[in-house]
Structure 1
């Protein structure tokens, strides 16, 4: 079996530690949300699915690296991500700031999301899920080189 295919199937990078099954499941769910975002016809649906994809990807990192503990431990995925994967800090900030828009959409405020904002959310989520997959499978070095090339969109 080809090494890349083996890594995808088993979740194990060539020489690294195995990836927890929960992290792999969350990455699969993130991929499913991205697919739903790409095939949604309404901008608000695209944004909602994109944000959920990013949320699941962030949770995959937390599942792979461990949940912060203690009395003052962060409670949201975005806050936990800032603790367990500071190299993804700009992404966690972006999606944390977008959470209020997704909440408004969930409450029925569909008019708040236009096609441009939806496209930005989908593109950002795709890039973030890719960065998370690199991090989970390849470690910090894989993401460090990648994040320098990625443009993290400004929250709007």
Structure 2
């Protein structure tokens, strides 16, 4: 995957993607793979959320961290500032953070197979959107909304 990203930016017109951004996208891919091979729903959700978190961090790293006294502190809040076109994604994953925290605390029963599948699908789509955003030539996607298509599971 990293080779594909590096090839994408070998043309003179493309801005180089910083190594840290590529590393974070690679870690997001690894978390997606772990989620896909996890047998427990809670484990799938946790890995999927971590994949999205790493992809969000890649966008923040590519676009720059907001600064100042009132600068946002979470990746999801920073993402809303530096990449408003990913706003629906940052809201979705920020809302899911408390569920992942509960799972991290051992509340495995809170996640069923359908919710885990929803999280995995959302994370896969978000990682793709984040990758597209940071690898676009000259930031060509700025201003375009990269919205999510997640069907909520009851």
Q: Would you call these one fold, judging by a TM-score over 0.5? A: yes
**Deviations 1:76-126 (Å, cap 9, x if unpaired)?**
000000000000000000000000000000000000000000000000000
TM-score (norm 1): 0.88
Greater CA deviation, 30-39 or 134-143? Answer: 134-143
1:38 and 1:46 in contact (8 A); partners too? yes
Shift of 1:16: 2.4
- Given the alignment, which residue of 65, 76, 79 partners 2:77? 79
2:118 and 2:153 in contact (8 A); partners too? no
Q: How many matched pairs? A: 151
CA RMSD of aligned residues (A): 2.4
TM-score (norm 2): 0.89
The structure whose residues are more often helix, as a share, is 1
- Unaligned ranges ≥5, structure 2: none
Distance 1:6 1:32, change over 3 A: closer
Distance 1:67 1:136, change over 3 A: same
Shift of 1:13: 6.3
- Unaligned ranges ≥5, structure 1: none
CA distance in 2 between partners of 1:151 and 1:35 (Å): 21
- Given the alignment, which residue of 6, 26, 35 partners 1:9? 6
Say whether 1:46 aligns with 2:44. Answer: yes
